[in-house]
Amino acid sequence: MLINTVILFLKDLLPIFILLCLLKVNNANAVISKKVIFIIVLLSIFGVIATFKLLPLIGEMWDGTGIEILQTIEVLLVYVLLVFSYSNVALSKYSSVKQLYFISSAIVIFVTLNTSVFIVFLDSYITSSEFIKHIIAGLAIGLGICFSFSFLMYFLLIWLNKKQRYLVIYTFWALFLTGQLSQIINLLQQVDIIQSSAALWDSSTLVEDSSEYGHLLKTLFGYEARPSSEFIMVYLGSLLVLYSYFFIQLRYKISESKQPEGRNYEH
């Protein structure tokens, strides 16, 4: 039960730590008021409780496809909100109020999405005194690993930021976001909304999905040892969108900086 709690904690909650870490690196100068943080936490708690309570009901909706459809909508929302808020931030180093609203909304949805499934597990065993010690120990270990990992990642990204390796940081971001988005293919395939095709390749001899590295790579980049062609199409499509957006922004910024200062075309 102890190991199981740690594994589930890492699987469900490590992505939240990584997302917050990635956002923090490129929003280091952004000042988020305590009021906004309080609202994000409050809405996240409300979202998690509401989703957890409604999950069995949602699961029965639309011929048993309710949870997959809900999770797909949530993942798509997070993706769209973050693509159009973060890609600007990655280059301009500041966040407008609108961008901060987008990012805050994405955080609330992402926390709700990931935590509500973990709460289902906790709810199953927290009432049993037999397992309570193992679960508390598992939560403490899981939390420790998540904090340690995200701090290490944060310092690595800060170091890259100081070296002005923006493309490397953006690659971390693009792969993380793409990994999250591509999970919708598996969700929709298991309820037959999207047709399943055979795996394009099998890299399980290199890294097994079930191994520690497999779990970590899945969280960071959406790694699949046996991906379907639909999965790869969405993965590559998302990377194309993210890099196109980045380079369009970069080009715009370069052309803006080339304009002579103090020149006023209105005169």
Q: If we measure between CA atoms, which residue out of 9, 16, 241, 14 comes closest to residue 109?
A: 16
Nearer to another protein, 125 or 243 (CB): 125
Report in angstroms how near the CB of residue 54 gets to another protein at its nearest: 12
- Cβ contacts of residue 4 below 8 Å, gap of 6+? 138
Show contacts with another protein in window 111-140 (CB under 8 A).
117, 120-121, 123-125
Q: Which is nearer to another protein, 123 or 212 (CB)?
A: 123
Q: 10 Å Cβ neighbour count for 211?
A: 12
Query: Closer CB to another protein, residue 157 or residue 224?
Result: 224
Q: How far apart are CA 117 and CA 13, in angstroms?
A: 10
DSSP 260: P
Residue 64 binds another protein, judged by CB under 8 A: yes
Question: Which of 81, 74, 77, 41 minimizes the C-alpha distance to 58?
Answer: 74
Q: Are 68 and 188 in contact (CB under 8 A)?
A: yes
Q: Does 206 bind another protein (CB under 8 A)?
A: no
Is 109 a binding residue for another protein by CB under 8 A? The answer is no
Give 192 or 212: the residue with its C-beta nearer to another protein: 192
Find, among 122, 134, 111, the residue nearest to 42 by Cα: 111
Contact 252, 92 (CB under 8 A): no
What is the Cα–Cα distance from 87 to 238, expressed in whole angstroms?
13
Q: How many residues of this chain interact with another protein, rule: CB under 8 A?
A: 31
How far apart are CB 167 and another protein at their closest, in Å? 31
Position 224 contacts another protein (CB under 8 A): yes
Which member of 132, 163, 165, 192 binds another protein (CB under 8 A)? 192
**What is residue 221's three-state secondary structure?**
helix
Stretch that binds another protein, among 54-62, 89-97, 146-154, 256-264 (CB under 8 A): 54-62
Q: Which of 28, 38, 53, 56 binds another protein (CB under 8 A)?
A: 56
Phi, psi of 8 (to 5 degrees): -65, -35
Query: C-beta of 209: minimal distance to another protein in Å?
Result: 4
Q: Say whether residue 77 binds another protein (CB under 8 A).
A: no
Residue whose token pair is 């520690």: 212
Minimal distance, residue 193 CB to another protein, in Å? 9
- Do 72 and 184 contact (CB within 8 A), yes or no? yes
Give the residue, chosen from 10, 23, 67, 89, that forms a contact with another protein under the rule CB under 8 A: 67
Q: Which residues bind another protein (CB under 8 A)?
A: 4, 8, 55-56, 59-60, 63-64, 67, 117, 120-121, 123-125, 186, 189-192, 195-196, 198, 208-210, 214, 224-226, 228
